[in-house]
Structure formats: structure tokens, C-alpha cells
Chains A and B, each alone.
Chain A
Amino acid sequence: MTIYCFSSSSQVKEENSFLKLSTWAILQAVPSPTYFEDRNTANSRLKFGFEWQMIPFSYSFNTNKYLSKVNFFYIKPSKRFSGSAECFFEPALILSDFKYAELKKFMFKTGVRIILPVAQKGEYLSISFGAGYYRQSGINEKIYDGITYEAALFSFFGMLGLKFNYNQNAISRYNIGVYIKYY
């Protein structure tokens, strides 16, 4: 051999809790692009906005013996998408004023969902079903709230999904959007 290879220094990094926590927190600020229905009795259109995905609590059904089944906020994708039940809180911001519906730009949903793996322990495909409570203020100070139902498909290791919501009794009944969440 005419080539001489020298040892390359190991890149082993010390685990830095602050760095881990801060980057995780920044990533949680990445919003999920979502369309919100804007309608009145005569017209209907979609408004673009953002939703943020927060999981205050999750219980995993399919964890190995070394891990806890219970998680708060920070959840390993393999624990979540291989089968879990979770509480969610999703604040949303619609980017422009509603044209037809007399609604304000901010809303939130909170509830529970169950995630079921479909392919490769949920990494390739998983589905979820959930229900909860939504609340959105009208520009006339009237509160629109009620039950929201949701269904979603997740792929790409659970980092990307497609989520559909039906909000009972609301003016803006349907929301559909891309679900983005890293850990």
C-alpha cells in the first residue's frame, strides 16, 4: 500500500443538555402549514395559517424494557409512532383576516389522539385518530367552541404528516394541513 492513513480524531461529543434542550425548543417553533375554512352562508374559501404541535403527555404502548412508557413534551419518534396515546395542545394563527367568517386570527385545539403503526413500526406509515376541544373568538367577541375530530397520516419517521380536522359547530369547520414535528 502506498497510501498512509493516519488516525482521524474521534468526533465524540459530550452530551450538552443545554444545547439539546435549546435546539429542541427551537424546533418546536417550526409551525405546521394549515388551511382553515373561511365561509359564510354564501361564500367559502381557504385561509392559510400555521399550527404548532405540542404534546404535553404521551403514553407509549410499544416501548422496550429499557424505556419509560410515559413521556412529557419530548418524545422519541420510535416511542410515539410505534403506538401511543397522547394529549395534544395546538395553538394556531391564521395569517390574514377572515374574509367571510367573522373570526379572529387565533384559535387553539386541545384533546387526545391515538397513534397506530401501519408500516415499519410506524416509521413508514402510521395513522392517528383524535378528538378534543377547539376555541376561536369571533370579531364580535362571540366565542365559537366545541368538539373537534381529527384524523391524520404520518410518514417520514413521523416527522411529516397530513392532518384533517372537523370542528363541530364552528364557522371555520374544516382544517387541513401538513403536520411537522421533530421529537
Chain B
Amino acid sequence: MKRFLLYTFFLLTMTSLSCNLLMVAVRNVTTFFTPPDVVDVKVKNPIKPDVKLSALWIGHSTVLLQMDDKVIITDPFLTETVGEFARRVVDVGMDIENIPKCDLILISHSHFDHLSYGSLEYLEEKSKNAPLVFPKGLENYLPDFDFKFVRMDNNDGYKKKIIGETKLLNGIKVTTVYAQHWGGRYGLDGFVWGDHAYTGYILEYNGLTVYFAGDTGYDSLKFKQLGETFKIQLALIPIGPCADCENCGTQNHVFPPDAVYIFKDINAKWMVPIHYGTLMFAQADPMEPLFALKKIIAAGQLEDRIKILKIGEQMEFMKK
């Protein structure tokens, strides 16, 4: 009896420590017995001299952007697993050796699926000394790497303003902008201790403006303000994770309807949906958000503006 109580105490302690992590872990058990889906065609040379703006979806929130002669990667997740227990359901959309030297590496927040140490180790070889940009507070979750660490202000979670800070990095104007999410990496540090290290980004270079939303909830007023401040061409907006994807999202995550509202509020020319189809979250099937998004696209005749990419697919938006 005594032993039983002890083990129960131990189990309860561990469970309460990592309840959300446990749910994700349980949901991911099956992925460890099935290999990730293969990406049929992988782009070998993503940077083309005649292209002005392109996006290659590597999976989840990882997008390789070409803005004229600059290469930017967002929230690099290039490993097979994140957080040890979440395994990709689809292979990495690009062979790592074909990822070119990056001029900028953006990290939106410190959650496992957005800040992957193993992926940064892969990028270190080719992109040594590239600016690694992250919101204030995220340095607490970053070991040292051979990058130029650039910490940017985010107004403690955008309490007062929607603009954090602007810096010129490798010729690219980088601005941290509003996102509604939570920080931390190990559970309590974000939920209870109130870590605010999260952000979205606006990138401006040679007349091009790209918005990377990171992970965010919806606030109409804030996103309309963003649309009035920047003339955005391409927006990378999350659409999951969700189970009830035809409805509006939560405080922390937009679902397809409010992702499209963000797209309309910021008045961007094109949108590429991200943050789905790659990992088995606790909520639902990773492809669930796409079905809902397709319905919205069809109803709103947005096919020309919302570009759904397959993992590994590249879209050229502007030629030189």
C-alpha cells in the first residue's frame, strides 16, 4: 500500500508538471511506429537569380524566403522530432544540404516547434555568423550558437504598442510586431510565470514587405493597425492547430477563419498558411485546418491570394 501511494504521488507530480506535454506525447505515440510521409519532389536550388519574391514551405512554421538576393528562414524546424516526443508526420521539405546560406534566421518564440536546437545546429555550418533574431526574453532558452544573436524588443508581449523595435540586419529592415501568444518552454515558465518572449516580424527589403506572424491569436484592431502601418505583399499566417477548425480560434492560436481575417485586416497581397500538417498536436489531425481553410477560400474566391503549398513546394510570387 505504501509503495502504491508513493508511485501514485510520483505519477501525479509528473503529470501535473507536464500535463500539456503529456497530452502531446500520448498523441504522438503512433507517429513513432510509422515513418514520416515522403516529400516526392524536393527543391535543390531554391534561390533563383530571376526571382524577386518566393517562399518554400519546409514544414510547420519553417519557410525559406527569397527576397531579391536575400535568403531568410523562419522558425527553423529541420529535425525529425521536436521536444523529444513530437515526431514529424511528413518529412522535412528540403534536404538540409540544399538549404543555402541564410542572411537572416528568425525565431518567433521559444516553444519546441519553433525553437529547435538541433535545427539551429544544422544551420550553423553554412550560415555561421548570420543574425539570429529573437524577441526579448527568448535568450533565456537559447544556448550559444555560431550566430550573431540579435535580441529585439516586443513591449513585454505587446501590452501597449503593436510595434516592438526595428533593426537593419544584413541590409534587411526587421521590425518586431504584434503577436498574441505565450512564451516559456517548459510549461510553467510560460503559463504561470508569465514569460512574454513571442513576436511576429515584418521584413522589408528592396521594396518588398513580408509578414511572418509566428504563432498568434486574433485581435482585429491590432491587425488592422498593422495593415495601415505596412504595405505587406506576402503574409505567412498560422492556421492551426485546431480540432474545431471551422470556428474561430483561441487566445493563443488562430484557426482558419481568423487567420483569413488577419490576412484581410493587414491587407496583404498573398497569404501562405503555415503551422499545420507537420506535427501531431494534442488537438487533432495535423491536416484538419486545411479542410476548413479550403472551404473559406472557395466561399470567398480567394484562390489567387491564399496560396496553399505542399511541404517542400516553392512558390514564386514576383519575378525580377
On A, residues with C-beta under 8 Å from B are: 1-16, 19-20, 23, 27, 30, 33, 48, 62-67, 76-79, 82-83, 95, 117, 119-124, 155-157, 159, 180, 182-183
Contacts and interface: CB of A to CB of B under 8 A. Distances in A.
The 5 closest A-B pairs by CB, nearest first: A82-B143, A13-B194, A5-B248, A66-B139, A5-B258
Interface string B78-111: 0100011000000000000000000000000000
Contacts of A14: 194
B252 to A, nearest CB: 7
B219 A82 contact: no
A9 B251 contact: yes
5 contacts: A1-B300, A12-B196, A23-B188, A48-B6, A64-B144
Given A20-B193, A48-B3, A79 B143 contact: yes
Contact of A182 (B17, B116, B151, B156): B17
Contacts of B300: 1
B320 interface: no
B248 A62 contact: no
Contact of A19 (B185, B192, B247, B252): B192
B159 to A, nearest CB: 6
Interface residues of B, number: 59
A102 to B, nearest CB: 22
Contact of B141 (A62, A78, A95): A78
Nearest to B250: A8
Contacts of A119: 118
B26 to A, nearest CB: 15
Contact of B251 (A4, A8, A19, A82): A8
Contact of A64 (B79, B143, B252, B260): B143
Contact of B257 (A5, A155, A182): A5
Nearest to A17: B193
A95 B6 contact: yes
B163 to A, nearest CB: 16
A1 B159 contact: no
A10 B248 contact: no
B117 interface: yes
Contacts of B219: 7-8, 10
Contacts of B218: 5-8
Nearest to A96: B2
Contacts of B14: 180
A67 B121 contact: no
Contacts of B140: 67, 76, 78
Given A3-B246, A66-B139, A66-B149, A159 B186 contact: yes
A75 B197 CA distance: 18
Contacts of B169: none
B221 interface: yes
B2 A95 contact: yes
Given A76-B140, A83-B143, A182-B17, 5 more contacts: A8-B248, A12-B180, A12-B196, A117-B143, A124-B118
A23 B192 contact: yes
A23 B186 CA distance: 14
Contacts of B281: none
Interface string B162-183: 0000000000000000001010
Interface in B211-242: 217-222
B186 A182 contact: yes
B193 A11 contact: no
B143 A121 contact: yes
A159 B185 CA distance: 12
Interface string B281-308: 0000000000000001001100000000
Nearest to B156: A12
Nearest to A3: B257
Contacts of A78: 140-143, 185
Contact of A10 (B143, B145, B217): B217
Given A1-B299, A76-B141, A10 B188 contact: no
Contacts of B59: none
B249 interface: yes
A7 B221 contact: yes
A118 to B, nearest CB: 12
B13 interface: yes
Contacts of A67: 139-140
B205 interface: no
A93 to B, nearest CB: 12
